[in-house]
Amino acid sequence: MRARRRLGRRGAGVLAILVVQIICAMFFLANILSSVLGLVPISWQISEYIELGAALGLLLGVVLGVIVLQRTLRRSAEIEDQLRRASGAFMQMLEDRFDSWRLTPAERDVALFAIKGLSGADIARLRGVSEGTVKAQSNAIYRKAGVSGRGQLLSLFLDDLMVLPEPESDWSKDDPRDKASA
C-alpha cells in the first residue's frame, strides 16, 4: 500500500513537471505561430507578462525535475543498499546451514555451485576433480541436509527466501468488494 502511495506521489510530481512545461511550450509555440501567420498581436505588456510567466514556468519545471531526479537517485541508492544487504544475508544463511550440516570445505563448494545451478560436469571442471567425486560429495550433501536431490536442496533455501512479511492491516475489512460479496 505504501509503495502505491509513493508511486502515486512520484507520478504526480512527474505529471506536474510535464503539465507546466507543456503549457509553457504551447505559449512560446503560439507566439511564434501568431507572428508567422500574421495574426492580430496582443499588446506588448500582456505579451511580456505571459512570456515572464512562461519563463518562470520553465524554471519551475527544471526545479521540479531536479527534485524528482534527486528523489529517484536516493531511492535507487536505497534499493541497491537493500539488495546488498539481502545478498549478504542470503550468503550468511547459506553459511549457517552449511555449518549446521557440518559440510566439509569441498562439500560447501559443491553445494554452492549446485545451488547456483551448475551441472555436475561443470562443478568437476571448476574444482579440478572427477565427476564421480562431485557425485559422491553431492550425495553426502543431500544426506547431511536430509534431502533426496538438488531440487529439494534448493527448495530449502527458497522456502527461507519466500517468507512473507506480516500484512500491515486486515485488508478484507477495508475492501468494500469483500463486503459486497459476503
| 67 and 114 share one domain | no
Q: Pseudo-torsion of CA 95, 100, 106, 112, nearest 10°? A: -40
pLDDT tens sequence across 63-90: 888 888 898 899 999 999 888 888 888 8
Interacting residues of 133 by C-beta distance below 8 A, sequence separation 6+:
124
Contact 6, 60 (CB under 8 A): no
pLDDT tens sequence across 86-141: 888 888 889 999 999 999 999 999 999 999 999 999 999 999 999 999 999 999 99
The set of cell numbers assigned to 57 is 514556468
Interacting residues of 151 by C-beta distance below 8 A, sequence separation 6+:
none
| 127 and 73 share one domain | no
Residue 24 lies in a domain: yes
Total structural domains within the chain: 2
pLDDT: which is higher, 36 or 103: 103
Distance in angstroms (rounded) separating the CA atoms of residues 161 and 74: 26
Write down the pTM of the prediction.
Answer: 0.51
Residue 20 lies in a domain: yes
> Which percentage of the chain shows pLDDT scores above 70?
83
pLDDT: which is higher, 46 or 167: 46
Neighbours of 160 (CB within 10 A): 14
CATH number of the domain bearing residue 139 = 1.10.10.10
Contact 144, 156 (CB under 8 A): no
Residue 118 lies in a domain: yes
Residue 135's domain comprises 102-161
